[in-house]
Amino acid sequence: MKPTLLIVDDDEEIRSQLRWALTSEYEVVQAGDRAEALAVFREKRPSAVLLDLGLPPSPAAPTEGLATLREIIAEERLAKVIIVSGQGERANAMQAIGVGAWDFIGKPVEMVELKTILRRAVSVVTLERDYHAMQSQFQEESFEGILGGSPGMQEVFRLIQRVATTDASVLILGESGTGKEMAAQAVHRRSRRKDGPFIAINCGAIPENLIESELFGHEKGAFTGAVAQKPGRIESAQGGTLFLDEIGELPAPLQVKLLRFLQEQKIERVGGRETIQVDVRVLAATHVDLKAAMATGRFREDLYYRLAVVSLRLPALRERGTDLAQLAHAFLKRFCAHFERPNLAYEPSALKAIERHTWPGNVRELENRVKRAVIMADGRTVAPADLELGGAESGSSPTLKEAREQLERELIVTALRRNSGKITGAANDLGISRPTLYELMEKLGIQRE
């Protein structure tokens, strides 16, 4: 079916000329004044409107045309109204843009230019309507705040429902940025512990000399700087859930101590002698291959089986099919509201760039790129450049930021390979701390091999 176009002009000859020129591409409907325009708009819900500002009873002034525009926008906030303006009326046309018009074109109308504007407007309308249809679908496909209708994500949701009602330890697997912590929170919220605390700790982002104290707490005077007693994350999770992110980074001595806690549900603070009983469910996550780490002695086999009573794998974004476009639209809506940028829409080329990109940083990368795009976009559309997806593919030279990130990526990947994926060795080679290396890997979407 052809998209519907409403032409609003009090000059019947102009309406006839436009209809003759556009009827091959559009189902054209017409109106000669404000009342008729609103009636036709409500009945036909056209994809686009061509509106002359000079309408009766005051054809020499823009008042009636602007009033028509306001009522159409009030009826449909995302309506694509294109103002047809005389050369002497440019100020009025710009006022109309401020009210909510999509674009304007000067008289006499250049048909090639008009057709280009109309095709662009109709393309955006189609995308927006598809998005709203997907929104309805999202109401059924979202699960504890996680969006996804793909078979892989539906299986994740099914497993979360099954394991949440037990106290079994769960090992959540997946690349960086796939939403492992969100999955852990979903397990917690669906469990009998939902009213207790959810305590998370990233085992790879805390220096080795501090992580034992962070997990188990310490007594006053246990070490230099321990000026007061401090409960650890395990103790703070009493009655709730402890989430150990990047468990594969846990140093070997602490693996032994964590295993003892999982077996006995008891801990001792650093520098303390008192045994503390703790009722905590443990969820763990990693993006590394723990079975390979066990084969090389970097991860304890007995700890692995304690943690992986149930394993839950989150698919990478590139494996999630139509979820990619749905997530892109959902993030756009969220950040448009946050930054007060209403009516932004993706250009078709931006959606194609999103589909072509491999998303090494997964959902986190998509979220960050869309957030940047909403901030940087000019006008009412998001272009590939706003997403930083147009540079290399369009053949243009990389920016300084892109070149710097590429160099950082190459150096980090080389260091990781040289150290067989070990974060500590790679960080030493690069002259940075483990937490800094970890942050750079997250930012650049680098996975350890």
- Which burial class, exposed, middle or buried, applies to 294 when counting CB atoms under 10 A from its CB (0-12, 13-18, 19+)? middle
Mean pLDDT taken over the chain: 87
Mean pLDDT over residues 383-410, rounded? 68
> Has residue 356 got a pLDDT over 50?
yes
Which token pair is 174? 């997946």
Mean pLDDT over residues 47-72, rounded? 90
- Which burial class, exposed, middle or buried, applies to 8 when counting CB atoms under 10 A from its CB (0-12, 13-18, 19+)? buried
> Has residue 108 got a pLDDT over 70?
yes
Which token pair is 165? 């009602």
Mean pLDDT over residues 218-233, rounded? 86
> Has residue 188 got a pLDDT over 60?
yes
DSSP 317: G
**Cβ proximity of 414 and 404 under 8 Å:** no
> Has residue 395 got a pLDDT over 50?
no
How many C-beta neighbours within 10 Å does residue 435 have? 15
> Has residue 398 got a pLDDT over 70?
no
Alpha-carbon distance 269 to 282, whole Å? 18
> Has residue 140 got a pLDDT over 60?
no
Percent of the chain whose pLDDT exceeds 90: 47
3-class DSSP assignment, residue 399: coil
Q: pLDDT grade, residue 440 (50/70/90)?
A: confident
pTM, to two decimals: 0.60
> Has residue 392 got a pLDDT over 50?
no
Sheet containing 281-286, strands listed edge to edge, beginning at the edge strand earlier in sequence:
198-202, 241-245, 281-286, 170-173, 310-313
Highest mean pLDDT of the ranges 100-114, 237-251, 423-437:
237-251
Q: pLDDT grade, residue 210 (50/70/90)?
A: confident
Residue type, position 275, single letter: T
pLDDT score recorded for residue 134: 56
Ranges 85-89, 127-131, 258-262, 343-347: which has the least confidence: 85-89
Of the candidates 245, 265, 255, which has an alpha carbon nearest to the alpha carbon of residue 300?
255
- Which burial class, exposed, middle or buried, applies to 431 when counting CB atoms under 10 A from its CB (0-12, 13-18, 19+)? exposed
3-class DSSP assignment, residue 309: coil
pLDDT score recorded for residue 131: 63
Mean pLDDT over residues 159-169, rounded? 94
pLDDT score recorded for residue 268: 92
* CATH 1.10.10 for the 400-444 domain, yes or no: yes
266-267 and 276-277 strand pairing: antiparallel
Which token pair is 206? 């805390």
Ranges 20-29, 122-131, 214-223: which has the least confidence: 122-131
> Has residue 237 got a pLDDT over 90?
yes
What are the start-end ranges of the E strands in 53-181? 81-85, 103-106, 170-173
Which token pair is 431? 């002259």
> Has residue 313 got a pLDDT over 90?
yes
3-class DSSP assignment, residue 222: coil
Domain layout of the chain by residue ranges: 4-138, 151-315, 318-394, 400-444
Of the candidates 101, 108, 117, 103, which has an alpha carbon nearest to the alpha carbon of residue 22?
117
> Has residue 428 got a pLDDT over 80?
yes
* CATH 2.120.10.70 for the 318-394 domain, yes or no: no
Which token pair is 63? 């008042």
**Cβ proximity of 60 and 80 under 8 Å:** no
Which token pair is 359? 């998303």
Of the candidates 134, 150, 138, 122, which has an alpha carbon nearest to the alpha carbon of residue 348?
122
Which token pair is 58? 């005051």
pLDDT score recorded for residue 393: 42
User: Whats the size of the chain, residue-wise?
Assistant: 449
**Domains 4-138 and 400-444 alike in fold:** no
DSSP letters along 231-270, please?
Answer: --HHHHTTTSEEEEETGGGS-HHHHHHHHHHHHHSEE--B
Q: pLDDT grade, residue 394 (50/70/90)?
A: very low
How many C-beta neighbours within 10 Å does residue 225 have? 9
Percent of the chain whose pLDDT exceeds 70: 92
Pick the CATH number of 151-315 from 3.30.56.10, 3.40.50.20, 3.40.50.300, 3.40.50.1260: 3.40.50.300
pLDDT score recorded for residue 224: 80
pLDDT score recorded for residue 39: 94
> Has residue 273 got a pLDDT over 90?
no
Residues contacting residue 428 through CB under 8 Å, at least 6 positions apart: none
> Has residue 391 got a pLDDT over 50?
no
**Per-residue pLDDT reduced to its tens digit, 315-331:** 999 999 889 988 999 89
Direct distance between the N- and C-terminal alpha carbons of the chain, in angstroms, rounded to an integer: 51
Q: What is the 3-state secondary structure (H, E, C) of 329-387?
A: HHHHHHHHHHCCCCCCEECHHHHHHHHHCCCCCHHHHHHHHHHHHHHHCCCCEECHHHH
**Cβ proximity of 402 and 391 under 8 Å:** yes
pLDDT score recorded for residue 326: 87
Cα 67 from chain centroid (whole Å): 38
Mean pLDDT over residues 90-117, rounded? 84
* CATH 3.40.50.2300 for the 4-138 domain, yes or no: yes
Alpha-carbon distance 297 to 290, whole Å? 10
Of the candidates 260, 278, 272, which has an alpha carbon nearest to the alpha carbon of residue 217?
272
> Has residue 270 got a pLDDT over 60?
yes
